[in-house]
Structure 1
Amino acid sequence: MTQSGLDIAALLCSKLCHDLLSPVGAINNGLELLEDETDPEMQDRCMELLADSAAASANKLKYFRLAFGAAGGFGEDVDPAEAKQLVESLVGNQEKIALGWAVQSATLPKKAIKILLNLALIAREALVRGGRLDIGAEAGDQGIEVVVRAEGTKIALDEGIRAALEGTLPEADLSARTAAAWMSRELTLHNNGDLRISPASETELLLGAIVTG
């Protein structure tokens, strides 16, 4: 692995640790509360907190394993249903974000699934006030086409992430916040594809990628 590859891996690890800090910290807090709590009702609430936090931690690990890692448990092709379950866990409360899923293929190349999951993560994080997240993918004449659309009352996309997706972010300016976007573009280009992002808008974000083969 090159030094650049090592840097990207380190930044992705930093993002993973950052995103896991909240649910793992909640587990620790729940255990501390449970240790001192004697009221049965409060004990039940502590157990609910522990269960929710443990599920959130497991879901994030599963998501990052396929989105960022080698995902050795999968072959070169992945059932999109696996990705749908991961995105559903990412969306969480359906009252805040509605999920639209339009992936008809029985299988997709793992590289396309990785790009789909990374773009979905970026779009989800941009929906700071909730809204709708639509995800589509299909095999076309030019390759696998992936489209992710976020719509809401407030789209908040970090300028560094936008620059990483557009390919204008200097590699020296990479951070844990922008590493996933950078990886998404590099993975797309490495597979002779293309990645596009819609112009800045307060209510809509459209991300698209084409991956060959």
Structure 2
Amino acid sequence: MTSQTDLAAMMCSRLCHDMLSPVGALSNGLELLADERDPEMRARCVELLEQSARISTQKLKFFRLAFGAAGGFGEAVPVEEAQDVISALAGENKRVELNWAIAEASLPKPAIKVLLNLAQIALDALVRGGTLDIGAERRDGNVEIVARAVGPRIAFDETIGAALQGDLDPADITSRTAAAHMIALLAEEMGGGLQYALSEDALVLGGVLPEPEGMIW
């Protein structure tokens, strides 16, 4: 069985893995810049450093909203913050078209966490590009969330899907499935649930979360 300590350790491993590439690129770029004397090559090094710094900042902003605990479960988060984070991450892949269908100005923090994680999973599935559609709406006392990835090739590990639906043995949770497991636990604690549907050219991820009691809109 996965303890809270184990889950925290796996989440840390996930974060370190995701940050290793851009931070490593920063370190390598600084070393190259220190030894390079050609103006054109130095300009290129600076460009790569700026790109690595931008990616690092985008990932940290994502981690803060998607995994952070600040603010508590009852706080509303502006949807614009989530849109900015996902738009920045998707912007690194020029072959992905991003579409939004969210009328609400803000959503409860648990809904934002679920939305961001589902969007990231869907984005990762578009290895050859495609379209990422993200939507959310309030209906009958619930917040309904959907992220749909459509493309020529969908790369999706169904153990992540099993973790989302609570069907994966906790003993089998890894750093790869820890985020999905985390939001599945969050949805369960709130009395909601997550699900997914996979076909050859599409992945649909969805969640239904009851609105927190006492939430002011």
Please, what TM-score do these two structures have when normalized by structure 2?
Answer: 0.93
TM-aligned CA deviation for residue 73 of structure 1 = 10
Q: Find the residue that maps to 1:144 and give its secondary structure.
A: strand
Q: Which residue of 1 aligns with 2:192?
A: 193
Kindly indicate whether the alpha-carbon contact (under 8 Å) linking 1:156 and 1:202 is maintained by their aligned counterparts in 2.
Answer: no
Kindly indicate whether the alpha-carbon contact (under 8 Å) linking 1:101 and 1:136 is maintained by their aligned counterparts in 2.
Answer: yes
Q: Which residue of 1 aligns with 2:136?
A: 137
Mapping of residues 160-175 of structure 1, within 5 Å:
160-175=159-174
RMSD: 1.7
Kindly indicate whether the alpha-carbon contact (under 8 Å) linking 1:101 and 1:135 is maintained by their aligned counterparts in 2.
Answer: yes
Deviation per CA, 1:76-120, whole angstroms, max 9, x where unpaired? Answer: 000000000000111024631000011110110001000000101
Q: Which residue of 1 aligns with 2:20?
A: 21
Q: Find the residue that maps to 1:78 and give its secondary structure.
A: strand
Q: Take 1:73 and 1:142, find their aligned partners in 2: how far apart are those partners? A: 20
The reply on whether 1:203 has 2:162 as its aligned counterpart is no
| 4+ residue segments displaced more than 6 Å | none
Q: Which residue of 2 aligns with 1:55?
A: 54
Q: Take 1:11 and 1:21, find their aligned partners in 2: how far apart are those partners? A: 15
Q: Find the residue that maps to 2:3 and give its secondary structure.
A: helix
Kindly indicate whether the alpha-carbon contact (under 8 Å) linking 2:25 and 2:49 is maintained by their aligned counterparts in 1.
Answer: yes
Letter in 2 for 1:146: I
Count of aligned residue pairs for this structure pair: 211
Deviation per CA, 1:152-208, whole angstroms, max 9, x where unpaired? Answer: 00111112212111221110011000001111211111111121111x312100011
Q: Percent identity?
A: 56
Letter in 2 for 1:30: G
Letter in 1 for 2:122: A
Q: Take 1:32 and 1:82, find their aligned partners in 2: how far apart are those partners? A: 34
Q: Take 1:75 and 1:191, find their aligned partners in 2: how far apart are those partners? A: 11
Letter in 2 for 1:194: G
Letter in 2 for 1:108: L
Q: Which residue of 1 aligns with 2:214?
A: none
Letter in 2 for 1:204: A
Q: Take 2:40 and 2:178, find their aligned partners in 1: how far apart are those partners? A: 43
Q: Take 1:21 and 1:71, find their aligned partners in 2: how far apart are those partners? A: 24
TM-aligned CA deviation for residue 71 of structure 1 = 3.5
The reply on whether 1:117 has 2:116 as its aligned counterpart is yes
Kindly indicate whether the alpha-carbon contact (under 8 Å) linking 2:104 and 2:137 is maintained by their aligned counterparts in 1.
Answer: yes
Please, what TM-score do these two structures have when normalized by structure 1?
Answer: 0.94
Change in 2 beyond 3 A, CA 1:23/1:75: farther
Q: Which residue of 1 aligns with 2:215?
A: none
The reply on whether 1:39 has 2:41 as its aligned counterpart is no
Q: Take 1:114 and 1:140, find their aligned partners in 2: how far apart are those partners? A: 18
Kindly indicate whether the alpha-carbon contact (under 8 Å) linking 1:142 and 1:210 is maintained by their aligned counterparts in 2.
Answer: no
Q: Find the residue that maps to 2:132 and give its secondary structure.
A: strand
Mapping of residues 24-103 of structure 1, within 5 Å:
24-72=23-71, 76-93=75-92, 95-103=94-102
Q: Which residue of 2 aligns with 1:127?
A: 126
TM-aligned CA deviation for residue 74 of structure 1 = 10
Letter in 2 for 1:160: T
